[in-house]
Amino acid sequence: MLFAFERGLPHGMFAIRPHPVWRTFAAQPDADVSTSALLYRASRPSDAKVEAALTDFLHHIGCKSTTVMVDPPKAPDIQDVREAMMTQNCIFVGSPKSNPASEISLSLLWGAAPFESSAQNRDKLLIHMLIPDAERRTPSALMGPAGRQHGFSIREAAAKSKRRTLSVDWKPLLEYEASKCEGRDAAIVVIAKSPLGTAADVTTIAILGYTGFATEIATRELTLGEPPVSPESMDSVGVQAIAYSCRWRKSKRTPGATGELRREIEGEGKWGPPWDRVCD
């Protein structure tokens, strides 16, 4: 059935409907009007693969997508992003490590100032990325020092709730390239129905992989899988965060080899919440 869906073939006695996450993106079968979406992505190859997968998926559900290229260190205009989120379906691909538009979108959703690293400003965001200092090239409301743990810090929507850590396995590049190993990676997905007080029936989705590999895997699970988002929540205005954690294995890179060596270990991927499933 998925093979047929991805190639636009008839489904016979069965039909595939997109998950309620995609309700505002999907055209109604009996309506002669398509929907539209903006895709914000950076220029790195892994994000180009995600864009291609999203473009195909959106096409099959009757949604026309337009890609907005983001070239760090230059960031998009904040007011332009705000206007887009309030009037159109928007998808932000990748974390602020590569895509500053993702930082802008999440900062707007949680009432923080983008690219402002003060503790008071950062505390407004329910999600923090814990990354090495060398990968934080600019001040950020979303990204903070990793310390001993790499991954994401998550605070539930309840006021003053304790933060949880969604850990990933991280090694310096030279050590990683020279090793044969297994590990854990993860992505946060933030979904906002009618964001920023708009009355428009639109949705903003940000897919923030700790790495490009995690963004790609989470995108697949978000489009073709069963993320823990209820139909009722997608009929209500608000912001919700979910997470996908997976395990991978890789071989040692041989001289001249290029591209991603990691492969997801089948059957090891998990969605949260419940946060106990994915967090330490």
Does any domain span residue 71?
A: yes
Residue 130 lies inside a defined structural domain of this protein: yes
Q: What is the pLDDT of residue 193?
A: 96
C-beta separation of 226 from 19 below 8 A: yes
Residue 29 confidence (pLDDT): 64
Count: domains in the chain: 1
Residue 62 within a domain: yes
Tokens of 185: 């990676």
- CA 52-53-58 angle, 5° bins: 100
pLDDT in the model for residue 194: 96
Within a domain: residue 259? no
Stated as kind and residue range, the H or E segment containing 270 is strand 270-272
DSSP letter for each residue of 77-146:
PHHHHHHHHHHSEEEEES-TTT-HHHHHHHHHHTT--TT---HHHHTT-SEEEEE-GGG--S--SSEEE-
Measured CA to CA, the distance from residue 118 to residue 139 in angstroms comes to 9
How many whole angstroms separate alpha carbon 55 and alpha carbon 49?
10
Residue 270, CA distances (Å) to 81, 221, 261 in order: 31, 10, 21
Q: What is the pLDDT along the chain (280 residues), one digit of tens a residue?
A: 777 777 777 666 567 789 999 999 998 766 556 699 999 999 888 899 999 999 999 998 999 999 999 987 788 999 999 999 999 999 999 999 999 999 999 999 999 999 999 999 999 999 999 988 767 778 999 998 877 789 999 998 765 678 899 999 988 878 887 888 899 999 999 999 999 999 999 999 999 999 999 999 999 999 999 999 999 999 999 999 999 999 999 888 777 777 788 899 999 999 999 999 999 8
Amino acid at 239: V
Whole-number pLDDT of residue 30: 60
Distance of CA 82 to the CA centre of its chain: 18
| Contact residues for 227 (Cβ-Cβ < 8 A; gap 6+) | 19, 21, 189, 221, 242, 244, 271
In a domain, 155, yes or no: yes
pTM: 0.91
Q: Is residue 37 a part of any domain in this protein? A: yes
The pLDDT, as a whole number, for residue 11 is 64
Owning domain of residue 123: 2-250+264-277
Residue at 257 is within a domain: no
Q: Which of 12, 198, 206, 195 is nearest to 99 (CA)?
A: 206
CB neighbours of residue 41 within 10 Å: 25
Q: Is residue 256 part of a domain?
A: no
